[in-house]
Amino acid sequence: EVQLVESGGGLVQPGRSLRLSCAASGFSFNDYAMHWVRQAPGKGLEWVSGITWNSGSTAYADSVKGRFTISRDNAKNALYLQMNSLRAEDTALYFCAKAAREWLETNWFDPWGQGTLVTVSS
């Protein structure tokens, strides 16, 4: 069974950093692209970032470009999101999601993890 388990969320002050992790199991992790998608409280889904199977290509939403960095460790079956210069508007539930293919585009997300909550507040 494919499983994605996010961790690393919590309460952080504006301007500080946080690193999210996503532990994957039940599939050949190094064969697929991976993504982060977030959902602010009571709001819709917003794609944050994606990374190809071999880390050769990454992409970011304009709202996080220059502040967030996605990475993966295929030896550890793990996906990461380094979030710097956090803002109140980054407060959200962060989901990791497995892509159906090794590249970023023309794809779909399945499955999704249960999410980890990030709260940015002083």
Residue 7 engages another protein in binding (rule: CB under 8 A): no
Please, which residue, 37 or 79, has the CB nearer to another protein?
Answer: 37
Q: Determine the Cα–Cα distance for residues 35 and 32; give it in Å rounded to an integer.
A: 10
Q: Are 65 and 85 in contact (CB under 8 A)?
A: no
Residue 45 Cβ, how far from another protein at the closest point, in Å? 5
Residue 78 engages another protein in binding (rule: CB under 8 A): no
Residue 104 engages another protein in binding (rule: CB under 8 A): yes
CA 93 to chain centre: 10
Q: Which residues are paired to 70 by β-bridges?
A: 81
Instruction: Please give the size of the binding site for another protein, defined by CB under 8 A.
Output: 25
Contact string 19-58 vs another protein (x = CB under 8 A): ----------------x-x------xxxx--x--------
**What is the DSSP code string of 12-48?**
E-TT--EEEEEEEESS-GGGS-EEEEEE-TTS-EEEE
Binding site for another protein (CB under 8 A): 35, 37, 44-47, 50, 59-62, 95, 100, 104-115
